[in-house]
Amino acid sequence: MMIEIQRILLVEDDPNDAELTLEGLTRKGLANQVDWVRDGEEALDYLLRQGPHRDRAHGNPFLVILDINLPKLSGLEVLQRIRSTPELRLIPVVLLTSSREDRDLTAAYKLGANAYVVKPVRFAEFIEAVQELGVFWALVNQPPSVPVRP
Amino acid sequence: MRLQTRFQMLTAISLGTVLVLVAILGWTLRERAAAESADRLAESLNQELVERAMIRQEFFLHREGRSRELWERKTRRIQGLLELAGHAFPDGEARNDLEDVRKSFTQSNAFFKVLVDELESGSPGLASAAATEAFRTRLVDQALLANYQLFDGSRRLSEGTSARLEVTHQRTMFVVYVLAASVLLLTVLTLAVINRVLQQGLARLQQGTARVAAGDLASRLDLKGRDELAELGRSFDAMTSRLEGATCRLEEEIQERRQAEQRVARLNAELDARILDLQASNRELESFSYSVSHDLRAPLRHIAGFLDLLREHLGEKLDGEGDRYLRIVNQAARKMANLIDDLLTYSRLGRTELITGLVDQDALVREAIEVVAGNLAGRAITWDVATLPPVHGDATLLRAVWQNLLSNAVKFTRGRTPGRIQIGVEEVGGEICCFVRDNGVGFDMQYKAKLFSVFQRLHSGDEFEGTGIGLANVRRMIERQGGRVWAEGEPGLGATFWFALPAPEVAT
């Protein structure tokens, strides 16, 4: 049974992008719920509660925001691991990336991404996109299996 | 001499010889027949004379009238035979003999007549019986003598004819032998001649053709003479010459082809190597543009993002000049982002594989008009859209082409009321030429070469925004589909942008 914690996992290697994303989420009051990791390997450590994240609370985040271009393991590889791991496969994953390449988009949806958002260059749009993402997945979307443990 | 002539001559000589010999044979046979009939005549004459002698003897013994009649009948018959013999013995000796026989015959007849008259009259005036008897005896002797002479002549005649018969018989046999021998000889001779001529000619032909058949096309028969075999040989030589020429040309051609094949193989190998190189550099380029798309854009995003944060952070502290600076930095970042996007599109156009098929351009144009009409901001545009034929191409690229051209037309008719945009088509020489014509700012034809190049702009960014890549993209997309682009325009009056693609039945 999947346990859900009220957290968003942000996987982003670029601190500037991370800060901007966090800024966007902050404006919707979601900043306190965000855990930020900087590469694909750490993202898997977090999700599987191993390595430096061995001691974190049990349960899955209700949303993973994933960049594609990541050190060590790419976002797509992380996505693949999530979808092939039984206890992780139902987590909603949104790709937030600067890549407009068709092949990335196609690969992402083939691997089971729930959304694919290209980072807009204009800050206002960027903030808007991040806010919509956070709000949609945090407040509007009903996750597939919901035994919520407060 | 021709073989036919030779054979004809041989035949004529043989026939002539045979004819002459047959004529000779005929003549000898006639001679022989004449000799036979003469011989038979002489025999009959002999026979008749003997019989007449016996009749006469009988008459002398019995003195009957009947015997005398018989004798006379025989005499007439002999007379007839002698007359016949006049024709049967034309040559000298026989004629003399016949003359003797005739003389003796006349004498013997005369004596017999006298004797018979004497006997019938009884006493011919002689005084005494003894004298009469003596006279009669003398008459009888005379008659006998004449008769002997007659027999003798007849016998000689008969012997002559027999001898002649023998001679003609021998001559006939001789002619027959000669004829048979001649025919045999001529036959053998003719066959030998034919054999020799054909054997030699055919042997030479056979040797020559065997050499050619074995592959020695340079050899010739070179038959001398004017006969059919020589003609055949010359024809064969001519044929061999042509064959040699043809084979020679064929071999040269094969050689050339082989060399060409080798060249092609070499070129192909080089091409394969080049393709590998190209593929490698293409992959490199791809990863390059991929990282450009990610890494070049990120700083811009950060510039824009933190500018906005800065603006919020400063709040009231930001004065008018500071606000203007921030706006300029922001616009520069945005422009840079657009440039990067367009460049990426441009480079992607060179790499992505075409998915070609028959494309309904009318639908593409409708779509493109809808898209650009969304950005009109209340401007009035008069559209004049012709029905376009389907073309053979990549729908995605063609969609981008139309959107590019139409948004250009919309952009450059800004300030015209109304803006007029015409979409049309002309089919010329296997090409479908589509155009977009506007009544916008137009351009100077001396710069038409620059229109379709990357980063080439004919208007300043203050007048018309843009990166200068749009038309370069259009050209790249059309050229990738086997077409071409060009433009016509006049400053202040408008411009017409053309692209031509092969008509579907011509395109492969």
One DSSP character per residue, B271-299 reads HHHHHHHHHHHHHHHHHHHHHIIIIIHHH
Residues of B in contact with A97 (CB under 8 A): 294
CA dist B339 and B469 (Å) reads 8
Global pTM value: 0.46
B416: left (phi over 0), alpha (psi -120 to 50) or beta: beta
Residues of A in contact with B305 (CB under 8 A): 16, 20, 23, 123, 126
**Amino acid of residue B238:** A
| pLDDT over 80 (residue A132) | no
| Least Cα separation, residue A107 to chain B (angstroms) | 15
CA dist A25 and A18 (Å) reads 10
| Least Cα separation, residue B302 to chain A (angstroms) | 6
| Least Cα separation, residue A98 to chain B (angstroms) | 5
Q: Contact B45/B85 with Cβ under 8 angstroms?
A: yes
| pLDDT over 50 (residue A150) | no
β-strand pairing of B494-502 with B391-394: unpaired
Question: Residue ranges of the alpha helices (H) in B315-439?
Answer: 320-351, 361-373, 395-412
Contacts of A48 (CB under 8 A, 6+ apart): A85, A88
| Least Cα separation, residue A17 to chain B (angstroms) | 7
Q: In this structure, what token pair is assigned to residue B33?
A: 């027949």
CA dist B323 and A106 (Å) reads 41
Neighbour count for residue B222 (Cβ, 10 Å): 11
B145: left (phi over 0), alpha (psi -120 to 50) or beta: alpha
| pLDDT over 50 (residue A49) | yes
- Among chain B, residues having any CB pair with chain A shorter than 8 Å are 290, 293-295, 297-298, 300-302, 304-309, 333-334, 337, 341, 344
Per-residue pLDDT of chain B in tens (508 residues, 90 and over written 9): 777 888 888 888 888 888 988 898 888 888 888 888 888 888 888 888 888 888 888 887 887 778 888 888 888 888 888 888 877 776 777 788 888 888 888 888 888 888 777 777 765 555 677 777 787 788 778 778 877 888 888 888 888 888 888 888 898 888 889 888 988 998 898 888 888 878 887 888 888 888 888 888 888 888 777 888 888 888 888 998 998 999 999 999 999 999 999 999 999 999 999 999 988 887 787 777 767 766 777 888 888 888 888 888 898 888 989 899 988 888 888 888 888 877 777 777 766 778 888 888 898 899 888 888 887 777 888 889 889 888 888 888 898 899 889 988 888 888 888 888 999 999 888 889 999 999 988 888 888 778 887 767 667 666 677 777 788 888 888 988 889 999 998 888 889 999 999 888 754 4
Tens of pLDDT, residue by residue over A53-87, are: 888 888 888 889 898 888 888 889 999 999 999 88
Q: How confident is the model at residue A145 (pLDDT cuts 50, 70, 90)?
A: low
Of B341, B355, B249, the C-alpha closest to B292 is B341
CB contact under 8 A, B290 and A99: yes
CB contact under 8 A, B298 and A98: yes
CA distances A50 to A53, A61, A93, A123, B276, Å, are 5, 15, 20, 35, 44
| pLDDT over 70 (residue A106) | yes
CB contact under 8 A, A16 and B293: no
- From the number of C-beta atoms within 10 Å of its C-beta (0-12, 13-18, 19+), residue B482 rates as middle
**Three-class secondary structure of residue B96 per DSSP:** helix
CB contact under 8 A, A123 and B308: yes
CA dist B416 and B406 (Å) reads 15
Among the partner residues A14, A23, A123, nearest to B298 by beta-carbon distance: A14
Angle of helix B92-121 versus helix B129-213 axis, rounded to 10: 160
Of B168, B243, B257, B181, the C-alpha closest to B213 is B243
- Please give the pLDDT value at position A143: 56
Q: Contact B499/B433 with Cβ under 8 angstroms?
A: yes
Q: In this structure, what token pair is assigned to residue B289?
A: 């543009």
**Three-class secondary structure of residue A55 per DSSP:** coil
CA dist B434 and B426 (Å) reads 6
Residue of A nearest to B294 (CA): A98
- Please give the pLDDT value at position A148: 41
Q: Of residues A131 and A108, which shows the higher confidence score?
A: A108
CA dist B158 and B225 (Å) reads 65
In the block, tokens 């020799």 appear at B196
Residues of A in contact with B344 (CB under 8 A): 100
Longest dimension (CA), chain A: 41
In the block, tokens 């376009």 appear at B388
Residues of B in contact with A120 (CB under 8 A): 301
CB contact under 8 A, B293 and A101: yes
A30: left (phi over 0), alpha (psi -120 to 50) or beta: alpha
- From the number of C-beta atoms within 10 Å of its C-beta (0-12, 13-18, 19+), residue B427 rates as exposed
Please list, residue by residue across B391-401, b when 16 or more beta carbons sit within 10 angstroms of its beta carbon and e when fewer do. bbbbbebbbbb
Residues of A in contact with B290 (CB under 8 A): 99, 101
ipTM over 0.90: no
CB contact under 8 A, B305 and A126: yes
**Three-class secondary structure of residue A79 per DSSP:** helix
Of B12, B97, B82, B14, the C-alpha closest to B45 is B82
Distance between terminal CA atoms of chain A? 15
| Least Cα separation, residue B283 to chain A (angstroms) | 14
Q: Contact B15/B130 with Cβ under 8 angstroms?
A: no
Among the partner residues B298, B304, B333, nearest to A17 by beta-carbon distance: B298
Q: Contact B396/B355 with Cβ under 8 angstroms?
A: yes
Of B405, B404, B457, the C-alpha closest to B435 is B405
| pLDDT over 70 (residue A3) | no
